[in-house]
Amino acid sequence: NSGATAPMDFEAILNEVRQLQDVSDRLDSLAKQNPLLTASLIGISGCLRDTATLLEVFVAIKRPALSLISGNA
């Protein structure tokens, strides 16, 4: 990181959140269809869902903070 600040594209991040949630849902579905892989697929699905949640929290925290800094509040 060079220290330069670039505008954050929160909608792009939220789009990635939706994609992670979709992949998590598909893995949950596959887990139900593949008993030998159920535990592994559910674990991976949970990690993806947790990551999506963290990204949502990141956006929720950073978006208002950047608005305040830029004077757009």
Q: What is the pLDDT of residue 35?
A: 94
With contact defined as beta carbons under 8 Å apart, do 50 and 61 qualify? no
The pTM assigned to this predicted structure is 0.77
pLDDT digits (tens, 9 = 90+) for 15-41: 999 999 999 999 999 999 999 999 999
Q: What is the pLDDT of residue 64?
A: 78
Instruction: Answer whether residue 73 shows pLDDT above 50.
Output: no
Query: What's the CA gap between 68 and 45, in Å, rounded?
Result: 35
Higher-confidence residue of 58 and 1: namely 58
Query: What's the CA gap between 20 and 18, in Å, rounded?
Result: 5
With contact defined as beta carbons under 8 Å apart, do 8 and 62 qualify? yes
User: 14 vs 24, 37, 69, CA distance in Å?
Assistant: 15, 29, 21
Instruction: Answer whether residue 10 shows pLDDT above 60.
Output: yes
With contact defined as beta carbons under 8 Å apart, do 27 and 52 qualify? no
